[in-house]
Structure 1
Amino acid sequence: MTMRKILPALLLTATALAGPIACNVPGANAPASEATTGTALGIRTDWMDKTVKPGDDFYAYANGAWMKNTQIPGDRSSVSSSFESQKTTEANMGELIAGLLKSEPAAGSDAAKIKDYYNAFMDTAAIDAAGLKPVQADLARFSAIRDVAGLSKVLGEQVRADVDPLNSTNFATENLFGIFVTQSLAGNGVMPYILQGGLGMPEREYYLAADPKMAGLRDKYRAYIAQFLTDAGIPDAAAKAQRIYDLEMKIAQAHMTRDESDDWNKRASEWGSADLASKAPGIDWNAFLGAAQLGGQQTFAVYHDGSVPKLSALVASQPLDAWKDWLIFHQLNSHAEVLPAKLRADHFAFYGTALQGTTQDLARDKRAIAASSRPPYSNAVALGDAMGDAVGKLYVEKYFPASAKAQIEDMVGNIKSAFAKRVEGITTLAPETKKEALAKVNSIVVGVGYPDKWTDYSALTVDPHNAYANAIAGEKARYAQQIAKIGKPLDRSEWWMNAQLVNAVNLPVQNALNFPAAILQKPDFDPAADPAANYGATGATIGHEISHSFDNGGAMFDATGKMRNWWTPADLSRFEQSGNMLAQQYDTYAPFPGMHVDGKMTLGENIADVVGLQAAYDAYRASLKGKEAPVIDGFTGDQRFFIAFAQSWATKMRDELMRVRLATDGHAPGMYRALTVRNLDAWYKAFDVQPGDKLFLAPEKRVKVW
C-alpha cells in the first residue's frame, strides 16, 4: 500500500471521522502537553518516561507518560498526538459555522448552501418527523425491479465516485461497484476505473476469516441488519436480513483480496465496453452503463478484473428479491445519519461500538461539519463530504496565514533537495535508473494549504429542510464533477483532500502531494518551535509523502505518472530485497497473540516512513549549515529530532479498532511507525544504542531502501 495518506484517518466514530490516516491520524494529546506546545523546545518532555532506556523501547521513552495519562474519550475509537490539531480545527470550524449561521449570505452562494446543508443536518426533529418519507422514491425504484435489465439499471443509478485505490486506498463502497476517475495506470488518458463493492462490513476478511473475533462480528452484523430493518418498518425483517447476509457472503467470496488490490502492477487492466459483456456476463452492461452516465465511454480501467466477472455473474444468478432486499438495506444503511433516531442509534451500535469500541457517538454538530475522511464503511453524508472544498475555502481565508504556507514550502524544498542528494549519492544505482529517479523527484507538484482552483458547486441544489435529499444531491454532484474529467488532460494540480483535514497525501498518477492547511498547525507544525522538532514531526511527514513516490508502489510510476518499469534488473532486485527486509521487520510487531502487523500490506507506508525520516534528518542537518544545534533541556538537536518524530506517532486505540486496522489498513499502528528510527544510523549515535539493547539492529539489518 503506497501513495496514500501519511496519517491513517482519525477514527472518531463509525459515523463521523478524520482518516486517513489516515491517516489518516489516530489522535489525541494529553491535556498537560499544552504547556510545552509552541516553546523553543518543541518536544513534550511531560510525555516522556525517562526511566525507560531509549534502546529498549524508544516509543515508551518518548511517550510513556502520555500513554499512562491519556484516556480515549467515549466518542473516539483512538487518540494520538494530532488530536490537538483536530480539536483546534473542530473549534475553528465551529466558530466559522456559527458566524455563517448569524449571517445572511446571498441566495445560491456557496455560503448559503453551506448554511442550509448544516441546518437541515442538525434538525433531527424534522428528520425524525419525516421518517422514511424522503427515501420512499428510492425504495419504490427498488420495488419496481422486474428483471435483470431493471436490476442492472438501478445498480448503475446507484454508482458513485466513492472509492480511491491510488491516493487514499479506499476500496470500499456499499454499492455493487465503485467508480474512480483519473489517468489510467498505463498512462492512456483519464478514464473511469471500476472497483468491486457491495459489502456492509469493512472488507472480505470480515466475512471469510476463521478468527473467532471475526466470526463474532459476523453474528453481530447479521443481527444488526435484522434490527435495523425492523426499526425501519420493513416487513419480514428477519428473513430479509438472512437473504442480505447470504448475498453479501457470496459477494465477499467474489472479491479480490487486499493484497491483490494493493498490487498496482497487476491492476492496470483496460477493457473496451464490449469486453465488459464478453468477459463479465450476467449484468446487462448497456443498462448499467447508461444509467451510470457512462454509456458513451469506450474504455474502462477495470481495477478489480478478477472480481468484476464474478460480481456480474451474481447479478444474474441470485434471486431478484435478494437483490431488492440488499438495495433497500444499503440505501438506508449508507444514509442512516439523516434518517430517524432509531436507525441512527442502531447504526452507531454496530459501526461505532461493535466494530470500533466507541461507547458514545460524536456530538452531532461535529458530525455535521466533519471533513471527508471517514472509514469507508461509515456514513458519508456530512457537510465536509458534500461541500468540503467550499468549506475549506472559508477555512483558509480565516485560519491559514500566508506566512505558514511560505514556511512549509521552504521546508518542502529543503527536503526535496535532501532526497535528491541521497539519490545522487547512491553509488550502486545505475546511471539510467538514477536519471529517472531524479527527474521524478524534481518534477513533483507540491500543494501546500489549499488548491489553486476551488471546486465549483453551482450545480448543487441544497434543501434547507431535507437532509436526506441533500446527502443524495451531494453524492451526485461529486459524481458529476468526477466523470466530467473523463477524456480530458490530466490535471496534476487536482486536490484529493480538503484544506480543513488533518492529513496529507501523495498522488502517484499526478506525481503530486497535498498538505492541507489543518495539518500545518500546532502541534504538528509550530512556526516558533525548535527546527529539530519541526523537521522531526512535520518534516518527516513531508519526507514521507515525497518518499511515497519511491516506495514499492510509487517506484513503478515515472515522472509523468505513467506506470512503467524504469529500473535496471539489478537495481530493482536490490530495491525488492530491501523491501522484503522491512516487511520481515514489521511482521515481528504483534499487539495480540497470533495477530501481527502485516509487513507486506504496510510495506509502502513503512518504506515511506524510513526514507522520509532519513530525508527529513538530512534536511535538518543541512539547515544547521555545518554547525551543531544547541543543547536544550539536556537534549541535543538530533535527540530532539528523533523524540519529536516518535511523539508525532503517540497513539492509543481500542482493541476493536486495532483489529480493524491490522486486517484492513496499509498503515501500521503509530506505536510501530515510531520504531522506524531503528533503521537510521544517526538514531543509534544520538542515544548510544548498543548491541544487547532490545531495539538494536545490526548495521546490515538496518533497511536503507534509498
Structure 2
Amino acid sequence: MSPKKPFARNAWASSALGTLLLAGCATTPQQPAPGAEATAQAPAASASAQAATETVRSLGVELNHLDRSVRPQDDFYKFVNGNWLKTASIPADRARYGTFIELADKAELAMRAIIEEAGAAQARQPGSTQQKVGDLYNSFMDTQRIEAQGLEPVRAELQRVKALKSAAELPELFAEFMRDGVQVPFGIYVGQDAKQATRYIVYASQSGLGLPDRDYYFKQEPRFVETRAAYVAYIEKLLTLAGEKDAKKAAQAILQLETALAEMSWDRVKNRDREATYNLKTVAELDALTPGFPWARFLKAAGAESTPAVIVRQPDYFQAMSGLLKKTPLPVLKQYLTFKVLDERAPLLSSAFDTANFEFRGKTLQGMQENRPRWKRAVEVVNVSLGEAVGQLYVERHFSPASKQRMQELVANLREAFRKGIDGLDWMSPATKAQAQAKLAKFNVKIGYPEKWRDYSSLEITAGDLVGNVRRGDAFEFNRQMAKLGKPIDRAEWHMSPQTVNAYYSSTMNEIVFPAAILQPPFFNPEADDATNYGAIGGVIGHEFSHGFDDQGSRSDGDGNLRDWWTAEDKAGFEKRTAMLVEQYNGFSPLEAMNVNGKLTLGENIGDLSGLTVAYQSYKLSLQGKPAPTIDGFTGDQRFFLGWAQIWRGLYRDDAMRQMLLTDSHSPPQYRVNGVVRNMPEFYEAFGVKQGDAAWLPPEQRVKVW
C-alpha cells in the first residue's frame, strides 16, 4: 500500500506492507475441459444474453466473457476473460482498465454525488465537513479563477527557493517542502519501529527522482532514450512558463543532478529487503554519515525532534547524497527545487501548466490519450485530503452490515484453513510450525471502514484557494504523522480509505485490512455461488494472510517485530521454494524484450499462490464433506478457479506496462492467473490438465509454499 500521499515521491517503505494491487488472441477451437462439456464449446447451450444474465446471480461468473475457443488447459486467463479482452477498450483517460478500475469508477461516481451535494449546499457551516469538502472540490472546479491567478498561487514557494543563500539552509527548506508535499532528495515518515513495534519512530528514505524509477535514467533502449528527452523538454517547459532564464540549460542540469541521485539509489529489489533497510541511527551517527547536513536542525524543523532515533533505509545513499549536495552549484540546486515546486503544483495551476504536466506524466509515461475529466480529478483531490471524511458518508450509503458479517465468516474460515495448512506442511519442522501458528493466531482483521474516524477539525479549507488547500492538506497529514511520536500505537488507524478498491497487510501491525469498496462483485457477491466467492474474495483474503508469510512478511513475528523465528533448515527449504517461483516469473514476458522481475514481484506472487491454495482448502472445508452441485456445466472446483481468474481481467497500454514491469511489485494480470494455477494440483484435477498442455508443469517444478 501507499499512504494517502507520500511526503516525498518514492519515500514510503512499501516493503512493510503487502497489497492486493498497487495501484491490472486468436486461438484454435479445442476440446472442452472435463466436467465442463455443457459450456466449453461454442456456441454454448446457455449462451444467449438472457440465459447469461439469469445465471450470473447463481453462478457469479460472467459467462459472456468466456472465450470458448481457448482451452482452459492452455491459457486459463484467456479462457475466462478472452471475450472481454477482445471487446473491451481502455478509456482515453486511463493507462489501464479492468475490474479494479471498473469498481474504482463506480466508487468515483458515488463519491461525486456525495461531494457535489456538499459543494452545492447554500448554507455550509464554517469548519464543518460539508464546508471543507464542498470548498475543496469547488476550488478545483473553478477554472476561471485558476486561469486568472496564473503563477500567483506558488509565488511564495518559488520565492522561498530564490531566497536560498547556501546549501547550509537546506535542512529547514527540505523539512518545509516535505511538509507541503513537494519532493526533495529524501523523505521521512513515521511508522512503527520494525524491531520494536510498540513505539513510533522516524524512517528516512531515498527520493528526489522525477522519473518513475532509477532505471529510466540509464536504459538505452529507444523508448527510454525518448522518455528522457521528453522529460528534459517537460522540465524546460515548466521553467519557461515560470520565467526562468535559460530554461534549456537548467533542464539539462536538473537531469544531470537527478541522474546522479539515481546512480546512488537502491533498486526496488534491494529496497524490499526489510533487514537491509533497517539501519537504526542516533542523530550523532546520522551527522557522521552525512557531514554538513545537521539532522537535529532538520528534525526540529520537521516537528520530529522527539523521535527516539531514525531508521535509515539506504545509508550509503544518504552518505553519497550529502556529498552531492555540497558539490552541486547553488544555482543548480535552486533550479532543481524550483522545478520540484512547479512539477508538484502543475495540475493545480493554469491550463498551460496542467497541459504540460499531462503531456509528459500522462501521455509519455503511461500512454494516456486524454486527461481525466476535471470532476474526476477534483474527486481525487478531495479523497487525498479528506479521504475518511467523505469515506464515512460513502459507507453509510454504499456498504451493508450484512456484507461485513459475511466477510467476517469468510475470514474466519480462511484462518482455519491456513492453520490446518501449516500443520500439513511436509517441509517444515514442528518448531517453526509452532511459531507460524502463534503469528497466525495474532492476526488482526479490519473490514469495511474504521471504527474511529479521522478528525479533520484542524485542517483549514478556504473557498477559491486550491493550491493553498492542497498544501494545507499535505501539511495536515505530515503533521498528523509526526504527532504520533511518543504516543501509544494507534491500532484503530487505517492506511486506506473505505472507498479504495484494494486491500493490504501490515507487517508491524500484523493485520489485514479490506476497505468497503472492494467488497463488491466480481470480488464479493453475497448472492453468488460459494465456490465462486471462495475463488474471488477468498483468494483475496488468502492473499493478504499469505503476506504475513511471504519472503518479507515472514521475517516478523505475531507482535510485528522483525526477528528470525525460523530454524536454519526450514529457512533453507522456504528459500528453495521461493527461488523456484522467482525463476518461473522471470520467464514471463508481456512486452518484447521486457520480462517480469521475479525477485521484485516475489512477495505478491507468494501471496497469490499461497492465498489461492488456502482459499481452496477453505472452500473444501465449507462443503463439510458434501458434494458441490454442478452449475451451468461447471463443477464446484472449476467455479472456484473461474472466480479467481475473472477478478484479474485487465488491459494495459504499453507504456503503462513498461512502467509496471520496472516499478510494481505485482505481476501483470495474466500471470496472476496462469502463473498461479499451473502450480496447483487441484487445478490440474479440475480441468484435466495433462502433459503437453500449455498449463502443464512437471510435478517436480510445481511450487507450494504454504
| Shared fold (TM-score, shorter chain, > 0.5) | yes
Instruction: Trace 1:319-468 onto structure 2 (pairs within 5 A).
Output: 319-370=329-380, 382-468=381-467
- State the distance in 1 between where 2:86 and 2:180 align: 42
1:272–1:161 distance in 2 versus 1, CA, 3 Å: farther
Match of 1:536 in 2: 535
1:218-255 deviations in Å (ceiling 9; x for gaps): 11101111112222333321122122111111111121
Instruction: Trace 1:172-187 onto structure 2 (pairs within 5 A).
Output: 174-187=183-196
Runs of 5+ consecutive residues of structure 1 not aligned to the other structure: 11-30, 163-172, 371-381
Higher mean alpha-carbon deviation, 354-363 vs 491-500, is at 491-500
Alpha-carbon shift at residue 506 of structure 1 (Å): 0.7
Q: Residue 269 of structure 1: which of 279, 290, 293 is its match?
A: 279
Match of 1:212 in 2: 222
Whether 1:143 and 2:162 are equivalent positions in the alignment is yes
Point out 4+ residue stretches in structure 1 off by more than 4 angstroms.
31-38
Instruction: Trace 1:220-619 onto structure 2 (pairs within 5 A).
Output: 220-370=230-380, 382-619=381-618
1:37–1:486 distance in 2 versus 1, CA, 3 Å: farther
Q: For the Cα contact (< 8 Å) 2:179–2:479, is it kept in 1? A: no
Question: What's the secondary structure of 2:671's corresponding residue?
Answer: helix
The residue type equivalent to 1:698 in the other structure is P
What TM-score comes out, normalization by structure 1 length? 0.92
1:2-36 deviations in Å (ceiling 9; x for gaps): 732201317xxxxxxxxxxxxxxxxxxxx999947
- State the distance in 2 between where 1:633 and 1:308 align: 60
Q: For the Cα contact (< 8 Å) 2:114–2:390, is it kept in 1? A: no
Larger radius of gyration: 2
The residue type equivalent to 2:189 in the other structure is F
Q: For the Cα contact (< 8 Å) 2:201–2:308, is it kept in 1? A: no
Q: Residue 101 of structure 1: which of 76, 98, 119 is its match?
A: 119
- State the distance in 2 between where 1:419 and 1:233 align: 61
Q: For the Cα contact (< 8 Å) 2:271–2:277, is it kept in 1? A: yes
- State the distance in 1 between where 2:514 and 2:202 align: 26
1:436-482 deviations in Å (ceiling 9; x for gaps): 11111111111100111111111110111110001100000000111
1:114–1:32 distance in 2 versus 1, CA, 3 Å: farther
Match of 1:131 in 2: 150
1:201–1:32 distance in 2 versus 1, CA, 3 Å: farther
Alpha-carbon shift at residue 637 of structure 1 (Å): 1.0
Q: For the Cα contact (< 8 Å) 2:277–2:313, is it kept in 1? A: yes
The residue type equivalent to 1:357 in the other structure is G
Match of 1:61 in 2: 79
Match of 1:680 in 2: 680
1:430–1:703 distance in 2 versus 1, CA, 3 Å: same
Whether 1:8 and 2:22 are equivalent positions in the alignment is yes
1:507-545 deviations in Å (ceiling 9; x for gaps): 111101110000011232111111111111111111101
1:652-682 deviations in Å (ceiling 9; x for gaps): 1000011000111110001111111111111
- State the distance in 1 between where 2:502 and 2:392 align: 17
Whether 1:80 and 2:98 are equivalent positions in the alignment is yes
Q: For the Cα contact (< 8 Å) 2:591–2:654, is it kept in 1? A: no
1:72–1:316 distance in 2 versus 1, CA, 3 Å: same
Q: For the Cα contact (< 8 Å) 1:116–1:462, is it kept in 2? A: yes
Match of 2:32 in 1: none
Alpha-carbon shift at residue 296 of structure 1 (Å): 4.2
- State the distance in 2 between where 1:320 and 1:468 align: 27
Alpha-carbon shift at residue 121 of structure 1 (Å): 1.2
Higher mean alpha-carbon deviation, 601-610 vs 122-131, is at 122-131
1:602–1:36 distance in 2 versus 1, CA, 3 Å: farther
The residue type equivalent to 2:344 in the other structure is S
Match of 1:15 in 2: none
Question: What's the secondary structure of 1:40's corresponding residue?
Answer: helix
Q: For the Cα contact (< 8 Å) 2:206–2:318, is it kept in 1? A: yes
- State the distance in 2 between where 1:92 and 1:569 align: 52
Q: For the Cα contact (< 8 Å) 1:232–1:343, is it kept in 2? A: no
- State the distance in 2 between where 1:310 and 1:63 align: 48
- State the distance in 2 between where 1:288 and 1:356 align: 35
Whether 1:654 and 2:653 are equivalent positions in the alignment is yes
1:267-306 deviations in Å (ceiling 9; x for gaps): 1101001111101113233432232222343400111222
1:290-327 deviations in Å (ceiling 9; x for gaps): 32222343400111222111112222111111111111
Q: For the Cα contact (< 8 Å) 1:97–1:115, is it kept in 2? A: yes
Match of 2:33 in 1: none
The residue type equivalent to 2:421 in the other structure is R
- State the distance in 1 between where 2:51 and 2:486 align: 50
The residue type equivalent to 1:70 in the other structure is A
Question: What's the secondary structure of 1:193's corresponding residue?
Answer: strand
Higher mean alpha-carbon deviation, 499-508 vs 274-283, is at 274-283
1:483–1:161 distance in 2 versus 1, CA, 3 Å: farther
Instruction: Trace 1:108-119 onto structure 2 (pairs within 5 A).
Output: 108-119=127-138
What TM-score comes out, normalization by structure 2 length? 0.92
Question: What's the secondary structure of 1:106's corresponding residue?
Answer: coil
Q: For the Cα contact (< 8 Å) 1:575–1:705, is it kept in 2? A: yes
- State the distance in 1 between where 2:159 and 2:544 align: 46
Match of 2:37 in 1: none
Runs of 5+ consecutive residues of structure 2 not aligned to the other structure: 1-14, 25-48
Match of 1:700 in 2: 700
Alpha-carbon shift at residue 613 of structure 1 (Å): 0.2
- State the distance in 2 between where 1:705 and 1:3 align: 19
- State the distance in 2 between where 1:389 and 1:152 align: 32
Q: For the Cα contact (< 8 Å) 1:72–1:652, is it kept in 2? A: yes
Q: For the Cα contact (< 8 Å) 1:33–1:46, is it kept in 2? A: no
Match of 1:155 in 2: 174
Q: For the Cα contact (< 8 Å) 1:543–1:611, is it kept in 2? A: yes
- State the distance in 1 between where 2:303 and 2:427 align: 51
- State the distance in 1 between where 2:428 and 2:204 align: 37
Question: What's the secondary structure of 2:365's corresponding residue?
Answer: helix
Question: What's the secondary structure of 1:489's corresponding residue?
Answer: coil
Alpha-carbon shift at residue 579 of structure 1 (Å): 0.2
1:545-590 deviations in Å (ceiling 9; x for gaps): 1110000000000001001100001111000000001111111111
Q: For the Cα contact (< 8 Å) 2:65–2:83, is it kept in 1? A: yes
Match of 2:57 in 1: 39
The residue type equivalent to 2:375 in the other structure is D
1:32–1:159 distance in 2 versus 1, CA, 3 Å: farther
Match of 2:4 in 1: none
Higher mean alpha-carbon deviation, 495-504 vs 284-293, is at 284-293
Instruction: Trace 1:198-209 onto structure 2 (pairs within 5 A).
Output: 198-209=208-219
Aligned pairs, how many? 665
The residue type equivalent to 2:140 in the other structure is F
The residue type equivalent to 1:327 in the other structure is L
Q: For the Cα contact (< 8 Å) 2:449–2:497, is it kept in 1? A: yes
Alpha-carbon shift at residue 175 of structure 1 (Å): 2.1
